């Protein structure tokens, strides 16, 4: 029996290493109005780029002219790895590169299967697309109270990507159920109380934002919390306590997401000491192809200075660490 085109696409996506795959029809984004309210409330902090392309974010047909369907994928990055000073997603190679390479390979496969060029484009966390919206529409999971997409067999330690195509494909059923129930584990565990309501994150209070996206100095009100947790780059607390991750988180299986030597097995103190001693060239060499380059060496030194000032375990720290 000949398999349908959507079955062949999904089989190829799994063969490329993706852990989840679904298909969604493009159109108005269900969460566009909620996203607009979130921006208006100032919860994006300094991430002004999120307001750009607002019109395109409101309708997934707009980023790629003529696009009709999206193949939405997820790739696990290993939630069972031990806690550490760097969020799990950033310990290996940059996920943008890994995901885009595979999505582009999937695009080429589709064109071969169809027997003609198929206009389209792959996106991973960089285009004017409400990715969780598409992922839920493609049946990959529900929105957790910590705002992450949660899959009932995988948890939430995964990256999302999508391939927008000028191709009519039968969509999968959306994921309409919500399985958080009365659980508040993520909300209550957040070190900086960044959740103003279930499913609503004030990013300007989030440790991931403060240690990665924020360009200036970290507000002093958050220093103690960041220092106590040893958060040099990012934070996984709201995912660590989620029962779905406690039960279903996996070991790292993708070699490119394995922690690189500069990070592997190091506690905050060890990593901080090494970062402070790095030259710009050494930083570029150690973090080449890493998502951590986003913070730049000056940003990591800023974070290290905050972590090292832990009043319970003060460390010697350079006073001339440059600001960004």
DSSP letter at 212 equals I
Which member of 83, 93, 97, 125 is catalytic?
Answer: 125
| 196: three-class secondary structure by DSSP | strand
Tokens of 125: 């966390």
Partnered with residue 73 across adjacent β-strands are: 21, 161
| 23: three-class secondary structure by DSSP | strand
DSSP letter at 210 equals I
Name the region of 220 (left: φ>0; alpha: ψ -120 to 50; beta: rest).
alpha
- Where is 21: in which H helix or E strand? strand 20-25
What span, in angstroms and rounded, lies between the C-alpha atoms of 55 and 129?
10
Q: Does the annotation mark 125 as catalytic?
A: yes
Per-residue b or e along 83-108, where b marks 16 or more CB atoms closer than 10 Å to that residue's CB = ebbbbbbbbbbbbeebbbebbeebbe
Active site residues: 125
């Amino acid at each position: 029996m000949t398999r349908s085109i959507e079955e062949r696409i999904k089989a190829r996506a799994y063969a490329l290493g993706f852990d989840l795959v679904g298909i969604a029809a493009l159109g108005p984004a269900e969460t566009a109005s909620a996203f607009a309210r979130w921006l208006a409330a100032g919860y994006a902090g300094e991430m002004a780029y999120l307001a750009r392309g607002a019109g395109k974010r409101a309708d997934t047909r707009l980023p790629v002219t003529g696009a009709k369907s999206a193949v939405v994928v997820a790739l696990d990055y290993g939630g069972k790895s031990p806690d550490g000073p760097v969020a799990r997603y950033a310990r290996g190679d940059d996920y943008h590169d890994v995901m885009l390479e595979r999505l582009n390979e999937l695009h080429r496969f589709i064109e071969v299967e169809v027997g003609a060029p198929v206009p389209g484009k792959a996106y991973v966390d960089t285009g004017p697309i409400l990715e969780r919206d598409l992922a839920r529409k493609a049946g990959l999971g529900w929105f957790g109270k910590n705002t992450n997409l949660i899959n009932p067999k995988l948890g939430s330690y995964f990256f999302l990507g999508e391939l927008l195509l000028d191709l009519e494909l039968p969509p999968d059923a959306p994921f309409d159920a919500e399985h958080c129930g009365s659980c508040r584990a993520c909300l209550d565990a957040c070190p900086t109380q960044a959740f103003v309501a279930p499913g609503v994150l004030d990013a300007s209070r989030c440790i991931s934002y403060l240690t990665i996206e924020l360009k200036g100095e970290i507000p002093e009100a958050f220093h103690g919390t960041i220092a106590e947790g040893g958060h040099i780059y990012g934070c996984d607390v709201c995912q660590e306590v989620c029962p779905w991750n406690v039960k279903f988180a996996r070991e790292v299986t993708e070699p490119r997401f394995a922690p690189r030597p500069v990070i592997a097995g190091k506690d905050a103190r060890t990593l901080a000491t090494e970062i402070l001693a790095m030259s710009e060239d050494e930083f570029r060499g150690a973090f080449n192809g890493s998502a951590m380059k986003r913070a730049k060496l000056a940003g990591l030194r800023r974070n290290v200075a905050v972590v090292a000032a832990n009043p319970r375990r003060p460390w010697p720290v350079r006073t001339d660490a440059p600001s960004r």
